[in-house]
C-alpha cells in the first residue's frame, strides 16, 4: 500500500528515498531545502483575503472580550510566524472566525498543537458540531452551556468496571450527528464515557514506557529496573537542550524542541494528571522499535528495499496515531520528518533511536547531553 501525500509533503518525503542520507545531509535539507507549512501560511490558505489580520483581530476580540490592540499584536505575530497560539480555546476562536468548518479546523490545530480536535472532550465535541453546522463562536458557546449538564466525564484513573470507550469509537459515532437534538442525545447516551484524556494513547504509552523501565522482562539479559527520571535522561533527552528559554534558538529548533518530554511530564502522564502527547508517543515508538513490532514484521523480508520498509513503517505509525485520535505523520512537520528519517532502515544494524539522536545532536550543535544507555 502506497503512502498518500500532498505535493508538498511528497517533495520532502522523496528526499528520504533512494540513496542513504547521512544525519548531516538531513539537517542541511531541513535548514535550506525542506518546505514546511507554517501556522501563518495555513491561515492564509484558509482565508486568502487581504483583510485576514483585521478579521481575526475583530472576531477574536469580540469572542474573548480582550482589548483589540492586544489581540492585534498577537495576530500580527502569528501571521509573521513569530509565535503560535497554544491555548486551544484561542485555536477554536480562530477556526470560528475564519469559518473553517470541521474538516479544515484540523489543519489549524495540526499546525499549532500536537493533536487535532479531541473527540472525547465534551466541550470540543460541541465546538466541532458548531463548526460542522456553521454556527458562530458565541452560538457554540451557548450550546455548550446547554449541553454541559449532560456531558458527564469519565473518572480518570478509576477502575469503574465499565468497558472503556476510545476516542476513535466516539469520533466515528459523532460523525453521524447532524442536529442539536442529536447532539444532546449523543452526549446523554455517552455520559460517563467522555473525558479530556486519550485512553488508547495512555495504554500505548504505559506499554512502551514499561519496555524501557523493565527491559529485562523482554530480553534474556538480566537488567535493573529504571526509574522514570533515568528513562527521561538516558533515553528521551536525545541531545535536545534542557534549557527552558527559546530566545537563542532558531525557528526550526523551537518547533522540534517544543513540548520535549521530561521526567515531570512522564510522571504526570502516568498518574493521568496530563494527557499523553503525540511527541512522547512517537519518541517511545522509535526508541522501543525492536520490542514494539514482531521481529519478522519489523525487518520484513530480505528482498524488500529500505524505501519499501520505510513506507510500511510510515503506514504502521499512522495506524498507531489514528487509533489514538492523533494527527498522522506529516513530512512537512520538522519533528515528523526526523522521525521518518530515523525509521528508514538501510540494514539490520541501523538503530532508529541512534539515527534520531545523531540528527538532533547536529541540529542543536551538541547543545544537549549525550544519552548514556
In a domain, 26, yes or no: yes
Beta-ladder partners of 153: 194
* Same-domain pairing of 20 and 84: no
* Same-domain pairing of 45 and 108: yes
In a domain, 369, yes or no: no
Q: Which three cell numbers stand for residue 314?
A: 510510515
* Same-domain pairing of 23 and 51: no
Mean pLDDT of 277-292: 87
* Same-domain pairing of 240 and 311: yes
In a domain, 370, yes or no: no
Helices (H), 218-351: 228-231, 251-257, 263-270, 278-287, 289-292, 295-298, 306-323, 334-342
* Same-domain pairing of 204 and 341: yes
Lowest mean pLDDT among 13-17, 45-49, 51-55, 108-112: 108-112
In a domain, 372, yes or no: no
Residue 100 lies in domain: 39-155+163-189
* Same-domain pairing of 119 and 257: no
Domains identified in the chain, total number? 2
Residue with cell string 456553521: 134
* Same-domain pairing of 146 and 66: yes
Tell me the pLDDT of the chain averaged across its residues. 87
> CB within 8 A of 81, min separation 6: which ones?
38, 39, 40, 41, 251
In a domain, 233, yes or no: yes
What confidence score (pLDDT) does residue 293 get? 53
Lowest mean pLDDT among 163-172, 185-194, 282-291: 163-172
pTM for this model (two decimals): 0.85
* Same-domain pairing of 28 and 47: no
* Same-domain pairing of 327 and 181: no
* Same-domain pairing of 321 and 275: yes
In a domain, 25, yes or no: yes
* Same-domain pairing of 234 and 264: yes
In a domain, 176, yes or no: yes
Mean pLDDT of 270-299: 80
Of the candidates 118, 95, 120, the one whose C-alpha atom is nearest the C-alpha of residue 107 is: 95
**Tens digit of pLDDT for each residue in 103-146?**
999 999 988 987 889 998 999 999 999 999 999 999 999 999 99
Helices (H), 113-215: 122-133, 137-147, 167-174, 180-189, 199-213
* Same-domain pairing of 357 and 218: yes
In a domain, 2, yes or no: no
Amino acid at each position: 500500500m502506497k503512502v498518500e501525500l500532498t505535493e508538498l509533503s511528497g517533495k520532502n518525503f522523496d528526499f528520504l528515498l533512494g540513496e542513504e542520507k547521512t544525519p548531516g545531509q538531513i539537517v542541511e535539507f531541513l535548514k535550506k531545502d525542506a518546505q514546511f507549512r507554517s501556522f501563518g501560511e495555513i491561515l492564509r490558505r484558509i482565508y486568502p483575503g487581504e483583510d485576514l489580520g483585521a478579521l481575526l483581530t475583530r472576531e477574536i476580540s469580540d469572542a474573548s472580550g480582550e482589548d483589540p490592540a492586544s489581540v492585534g499584536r498577537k495576530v500580527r505575530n502569528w501571521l509573521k510566524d513569530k509565535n503560535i497560539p497554544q491555548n486551544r480555546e484561542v485555536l477554536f476562536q480562530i477556526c470560528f472566525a475564519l469559518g473553517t468548518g470541521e474538516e479544515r479546523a484540523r489543519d489549524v490545530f495540526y499546525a499549532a498543537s500536537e493533536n487535532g480536535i479531541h473527540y472525547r472532550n465534551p466541550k470540543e465535541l460541541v465546538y466541532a458540531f458548531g463548526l460542522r453546522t456553521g454556527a458562530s463562536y458565541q452560538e457554540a458557546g451557548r450550546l455548550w452551556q446547554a449541553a454541559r449538564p449532560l456531558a458527564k466525564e469519565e473518572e480518570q484513573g478509576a477502575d469503574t468496571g465499565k468497558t472503556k470507550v476510545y476516542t476513535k469509537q466516539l469520533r466515528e459515532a459523532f460523525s453521524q450527528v447532524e442536529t442539536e437534538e442529536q447532539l444532546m442525545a449523543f452526549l446523554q447516551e455517552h455520559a460517563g464515557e467522555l473525558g479530556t484524556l486519550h485512553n488508547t494513547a495512555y495504554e500505548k504509552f504505559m506499554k512502551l514506557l514499561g519496555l524501557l523501565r523493565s527491559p529485562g522482562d523482554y530480553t534474556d539479559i538480566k537488567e535493573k529496573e529504571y526509574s522514570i527520571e533515568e528513562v527521561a535522561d538516558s533515553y528521551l533527552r536525545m541531545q535536545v537542550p534542557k534549557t527552558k528559554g527559546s530566545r537563542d534558538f532558531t525557528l526550526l529548533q523551537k518547533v522540534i524542541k517544543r513540548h520535549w518530554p521530561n521526567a515531570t511530564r512522564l510522571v504526570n502522564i502516568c498518574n493521568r494528571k496530563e494527557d499523553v502527547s503525540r511527541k512522547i508517543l512517537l519518541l517511545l515508538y522509535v526508541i522501543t522499535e525492536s520490542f514494539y513490532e514482531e521481529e519478522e514484521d519489523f525487518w520484513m523480508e530480505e528482498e524488500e528495499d529500505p524505501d519499501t520498509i520505510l513506507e510500511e513503517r510510515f503506514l504502521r505509525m499512522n495506524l498507531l496515531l489514528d487509533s489514538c485520535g492523533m494527527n498522522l505523520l506529516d513530512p512537512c512537520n520538522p519533528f515528523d520528518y526526523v522521525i521518518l528519517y530515523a525509521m528508514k532502515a538501510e540494514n539490520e544494524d541501523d538503530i532508529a533511536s541512534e539515527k534520531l539522536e545523531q540528527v538532533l545532536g547536529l541540529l542543536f550543535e551538541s547543545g544537549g547531553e549525550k544519552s548514556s544507555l
